Structure 1
Amino acid sequence: MTNVTVWNENRHEQKNPLVSEIYPNGIHGAIAQFLKAADLDVMTATLDEPKHGLTEEVLQKTDVLIWWGHLAHDEVQDEIVEKVKQRVLDGMGLIVLHSGHFSKVFKQLMGTSCDLKWREADDRERIWVIDPSHPIADGIGEYIELEKEEMYGEHFDIPAPDELIFTSWFEGGEVFRSGCVFKRGNGRIFYFRPGHETYPTYHNEQVQTVIKNAVNYVKPVQRKRPVYGNAQPLEVIAKK
């Protein structure tokens, strides 16, 4: 069984009654609920827990880490960021949601500012599937339509994705690369745009389907990891 840890800074839920009304068990609780229903082994972790809930034991057990953050990116300890980054390079899958694009760990793994345009104006969002054969798009039609969402617009300052699965159009006219796969070391990362805290986006069944598909796609490959550094020859080297 795949072990998933859902990480959420869990600050909006404490500060904004609208968010706690939409997500009474936190954004992490809402995501964990539909993942558990998919027969995944799910844990949650939040910013204010010791070591942000991401102890060495938790990270070593985690096959896929899901990350949601917004208000408190700077409060995440650099030591924990480095450990998460190393686990991704070692093969752990990482799913970064919505405003997690500005998280320390995502920016470190991308090597860019990860900046973008944004607007909170109840834009309608249409998330177009541009790679219909991709496993993350399994079960999704031509597009996902969200009645209200925060707008993210290009330019999105990220490296060119290894795989681009979704592109969003917004009512105000902007477009955005909203479903991107990156390969780093032995691990895979999926960035998925929707999920502003004041909208019930994670209750949308199609959004849930994408996240469940992504867990299966970015989970570690069951193979022996490459060995790096000085290596002995596989064959006898003829003396010249």
Structure 2
Amino acid sequence: MNNTLNITISANELLKAYTLGYFPMAESRNDKNLVFIDPECRALIPIEKFHVSKSLFRLVNKRPFTITMNQAFSSVIHKCATINRDDTWINLEIEKLFITLNEMRYAHSIECWDNRKLVGGIYGLAIGGVFFAESMFSSVPNGSKVALLNLVARLWKTGFKILDVQFLNDHLIQFGAYEVEKVSFKKDLKSVVNIKNTFYSSPSKDEDFFEILSTFLQAKIDKS
């Protein structure tokens, strides 16, 4: 059973909560309160062993989208809360907090563009050597998959150790997601939160993303 804590929190306090293994959710989009979750099991995606299907591999090599980072953070989190959803755990308070954290260079978004239209994205929080992926959206086929793959490649390039995705589901299992117990997760979390990361300062133009992604995919081929 999840342990929950219902409180109001600042952006800096939210950062601290994440380093202790808690993350916020709301009961609904219109709920003004936050509930802090501390689940018994945590879902992770392996960075180096991220599973890339043959179809996704072929797709990304065609470069179907232009990729950017932090060019439309507020739009990404808003679309994560509203695109293809009847309701969501992302309320306006979470949106506001994460926009502040983006301005503080802790929260980040990866965006997929098609002819200058935002069609896919993912956002999350980078602290030390761990990236807490919060949510992703797609308004066209594969938009969120391409965003996730580019995120993973960037995490691999910049030396991140943990990619947290909170809860396991069938969509994430296809990428190699698995569960670990809370005690194990928090032990590993404590060992990496103080690592200096270069996620924000690393080059982030479309050509840079393609180069990083190509290197990541080639490394996977060389190891197979």
Structure (1 or 2) with the greater helix fraction: 2
Tell me: higher relative CO, structure 1 or 2? Use CA pairs within 8 A at least 6 residues apart. 2
Which structure would you say has the larger Rg?
Answer: 1
